[in-house]
Amino acid sequence: MIIAIDGPAAAGKGTLARRLADHFGFAYLDTGSLYRAVGLAVLRANKSPDDIEAANQAAAKLDTSLFGDPALRAEVTGNAASKVAAIPSVRTNLLEFQRNFSDRPPGGKKGAVLDGRDVGTVVCPGADLKLFVTASPEVRAERRQLEILGRGEAAEFEEILADVRARDERDMNRKDAPLKPAEDALLLDTSELDIDAVFLRAVALVEERL
């Protein structure tokens, strides 16, 4: 059973994906962390995330130890990730890792939940269930702000909203594997729904397919 969950930044897809994986005993992969690891490696090498050669090098020898690095979640890393993600050869390099995960979920698990931007369209086009989770930019910026404040860091709402919009723009308008719902994806707008309601709806959809 493969569940693909796509959507823009801070729409709540990560929380939903993790909860579904826990509930059904499936393996979980946050595909954004691969792009973040590449972005972080490039930044740490003092290179620009627009530097194709530097990004390719980082993607070719993906440093999975960065997955546990607290800097992976920083806003600056998210922006760098969105930039390296627009480079087609970086995407190709990361595809195999994602497909290995979905084809053979680690730990002998009976299913996998992957979240990202192109899981339903490119990584797992044959997924059993595809969800596209979205929310208005304002709602997402508000959630991001609470998350940042929760870490004890400073967070200006207008700045975060501008960041969310810039990231959407880049993720939706790149040529290769842009952020968009697969034709057979079910849309879940979390602007008005709380995470528990979204989770219950998604559980029912998975159960229908099991």
Q: Which is nearer to ligand DC, 81 or 208 (CB)?
A: 81
Pick from 16, 27, 29, 35 the residue near ligand DC by CB under 6 A: 35
- Secondary structure (3-state) at 20: helix
Name the amino acid, one letter, at 150: G
Report CA-CA distances (Å) from 85 to 38, 108, 155, 191: 9, 30, 25, 26
Q: Which is nearer to ligand DC, 15 or 57 (CB)?
A: 15
Residue in 166, 189, 4 with CA at minimum distance from that of residue 81: 166
Pick from 42, 85, 124, 141 the residue near ligand DC by CB under 6 A: 85
Q: Which residues contact 50 (CB under 8 A, 6 or more apart)?
A: 83
Beta bridge partners of 130: 4
Does position 182 bind ligand DC by CB under 6 A? no
Stretch that binds ligand DC, among 77-85, 99-107, 182-190, 193-201 (CB under 6 A): 77-85
Question: How far apart are CB 31 and ligand DC at their closest, in Å?
Answer: 4
Does position 31 bind ligand DC by CB under 6 A? yes
Does position 43 bind ligand DC by CB under 6 A? no
Report CA-CA distances (Å) from 180 to 78, 114, 127, 174: 19, 15, 16, 11
Pick from 81, 124, 135, 185 the residue near ligand DC by CB under 6 A: 81
Question: How far apart are CB 108 and ligand DC at their closest, in Å?
Answer: 25
Q: Contacts with ligand DC in 107-166 (CB under 6 A)?
A: 116-119
Q: What is the 3-state secondary structure (H, E, C) of 101-125?
A: HHHCCHHHCCCEEEEECCHHHHHCC
Question: How far apart are CB 208 and ligand DC at their closest, in Å?
Answer: 25
Euclidean distance between CA atoms 161 and 49, whole angstroms: 21
Does position 167 bind ligand DC by CB under 6 A? yes
Does position 171 bind ligand DC by CB under 6 A? yes
State the residues that interact with ligand DC by CB under 6 A: 9, 31-32, 35-36, 78, 81-82, 85, 116-119, 167, 171
